[in-house]
Chain A
Amino acid sequence: MKGKDKCKALKEIRAKIAEENDIEYVVSECKHKGDCKGTCPKCEAELIYLEKELEKRRSLGKRVCVTGLAVGMAATVAGCTPASVIDPIVEFFGGGIGTEDLAGAAQPPEPVMGEVEPPIETLDGEVEYVPDSENSSEEDCSGEDCSEENGSEENGSEDPNGGSEDGKGDNDIPDLAGEALPPEEF
């Protein structure tokens, strides 16, 4: 799977999280030419923004809807190596799997399970996601996998802190959303 496809899938996941939780969020258009790792400082800033917005909702006692929201979204876009059609001996000295795209441009091979990929281009920069305005809608989402702020034993809690009345965890897990790096620190 190319980085650009990965990026598209992750953007869709972020948009879904925002939509289901009534968070103001506009998917930004990527202007970068060429392939990438599937994320960049701008995408990361958007992700952190969503974490913060969800944390705000939790602390206000609103519902958040995260767990299992995008199951299948990663699977539908992921490429799969057609193992059965590759002759391993022919492939062995021949440059690996999928090293050229249709236009003949060199492509990194698809990662295989457990394999450490060679490094791809890293996009550097400082970006902060700023929504048009603060969203203060109190509507609850209606997704099946929603759970209350406090989470129930039955549904589990999507809050990495385990969820408790004061918004802090009942266990030792450091606060995730609260500790997110400000985008300028990327």
Chain B
Amino acid sequence: MDEAGLPILAIQRLRMTTDGTGVTTLICSMGCPLRCRLCINPASWDKTVPGEILSVDELYERVKIDNLYFLTTNGGLTFGGGEPLLHSAFLKSFMEKYRETNWLFNLESSLNVSRKNLDDVIPYIHDFIIDTKDFNEERYKAYTGGEYGIFFENLMYLKEKVGPDRILLRIPVIPFLHKGNEAEENRAEFEKLGFTRFDVFPYVNPENRKPISEKAKENREILLKPAKEELAKEES
């Protein structure tokens, strides 16, 4: 069944190699099943903004201006969020209707959704950018509040379906969660499973980049409070 409209947090044009090859437009949709403690886009779930609902054609109208940039640079649209796969029926309708544009469609997802949602988009997506958060189940749960098994099984399923070449695994170094080389160890574990493309990068404090809500701060404190207490103990 088609979703009538996509609730949008933001559409950001002219991003260059930030979210995929070439010039891309990032389409951030509302809603997320996770509550990552250092979420970079908390406005997608903290209810501080209502989001704007766009139909398939309205979304196309908003992004078509960059058609020439997309085509000349092998760029296109990157669906992010929030969790874009919460709106997989809409994405499927959009990509089905506009696949003839020859734009590339990328997906940035944490895969913490039902299998059906993932199946909806697999035939249309060029590059899957997967936010892995953590390979370790306990740390994954502590950091995201979500179910590790859903993510992990979807990830392995995706690899079976599209192969590792079309999957970029984002491996964050998470302050106050990862100790020593844990992020690199995460990468090594994924490598053992046959994944080949990685982006190991540090998370930063989202508040250093833009104002965040009290709700997002509370969510962040779940990670920071014990870490700060531990630091204070060590110092005294």
| Complex alpha-carbon distance, A113 and B21, angstroms | 12
28 contacts between A and B (CB under 8 A): A10-B14, A39-B13, A47-B66, A54-B68, A67-B71, A70-B72, A70-B73, A74-B23, A75-B21, A89-B175, A92-B176, A96-B204, A111-B12, A111-B15, A112-B18, A113-B19, A113-B129, A113-B170, A113-B199, A114-B40, A114-B108, A116-B12, A117-B210, A157-B100, A158-B102, A160-B64, A161-B100, A176-B67
Contact status A157-B102, CB under 8 Å: yes
B97 at the interface (CB under 8 A from A): yes
Residues of chain A with a CB closer than 8 A to B108's CB: 113-114
Contact status B22-A71, CB under 8 Å: yes
Output the nearest chain B residue to A170 by Cβ-Cβ distance. B100
Output the nearest chain A residue to B44 by Cβ-Cβ distance. A116
B213 at the interface (CB under 8 A from A): no
* Min C-beta distance of B148 to chain A, whole Å: 21
Output the nearest chain A residue to B224 by Cβ-Cβ distance. A92
* Min C-beta distance of B224 to chain A, whole Å: 9
In the complex, which residues 41-83 of chain A have their Cβ closer than 8 Å to any Cβ of chain B? 44, 47-48, 50-51, 54, 66-75, 77-78, 80-81, 83
A102 at the interface (CB under 8 A from B): no
Contact status A51-B68, CB under 8 Å: yes
- Bitwise, B1-38 to A at CB < 8 A (1) or not (0) is 00000000110111111110111001010000000000
B205 at the interface (CB under 8 A from A): yes
* Min C-beta distance of A186 to chain B, whole Å: 10
| Complex alpha-carbon distance, A90 and B197, angstroms | 27
B153 at the interface (CB under 8 A from A): no
**A67-B102, A113-B18, A118-B210 given as contacts; is B67 within 8 A of A160 (CB)?**
yes
Q: Looking at the complex, which one of B101, B199, B202 makes contact with A160 (CB distance below 8 Å)?
A: B101
**DSSP majority for the A interface?**
loop
A127 at the interface (CB under 8 A from B): no
* Min C-beta distance of B132 to chain A, whole Å: 13
| Complex alpha-carbon distance, A68 and B57, angstroms | 25
What class of interface size applies to chain A in its complex with B? Answer: 35 or more
Output the nearest chain B residue to A14 by Cβ-Cβ distance. B68
**A17-B68, A74-B17 given as contacts; is B204 within 8 A of A114 (CB)?**
no
Residues of chain A with a CB closer than 8 A to B102's CB: 67, 156-158, 160
Residues of chain B with a CB closer than 8 A to A99's CB: 208
* Min C-beta distance of B186 to chain A, whole Å: 14
Known: A114-B108, A116-B28. 11 other contacts (CB 8 A): A10-B69, A38-B14, A69-B72, A70-B72, A88-B175, A96-B204, A113-B170, A113-B199, A116-B40, A117-B12, A160-B101
A109 at the interface (CB under 8 A from B): yes
In the complex, which residues 191-217 of chain B have their Cβ closer than 8 Å to any Cβ of chain A? 199-205, 208-210
| Complex alpha-carbon distance, A175 and B131, angstroms | 36
Q: Looking at the complex, which one of B14, B40, B41, B200 makes contact with A84 (CB distance below 8 Å)?
A: B200
Contact status A114-B9, CB under 8 Å: no
Residues of chain B with a CB closer than 8 A to A74's CB: 16-17, 21-23, 73, 75
Residues of chain A with a CB closer than 8 A to B100's CB: 157, 160-162, 169, 171, 173
**A73-B73, A74-B75 given as contacts; is B97 within 8 A of A93 (CB)?**
no
Contact status B41-A115, CB under 8 Å: yes
| Complex alpha-carbon distance, A98 and B176, angstroms | 21
Residues of chain B with a CB closer than 8 A to A171's CB: 100
B43 at the interface (CB under 8 A from A): yes
* Min C-beta distance of A128 to chain B, whole Å: 16
Output the nearest chain A residue to B168 by Cβ-Cβ distance. A113
A37 at the interface (CB under 8 A from B): yes
* Min C-beta distance of B194 to chain A, whole Å: 23
A86 at the interface (CB under 8 A from B): yes
| Complex alpha-carbon distance, A51 and B67, angstroms | 9
B154 at the interface (CB under 8 A from A): no
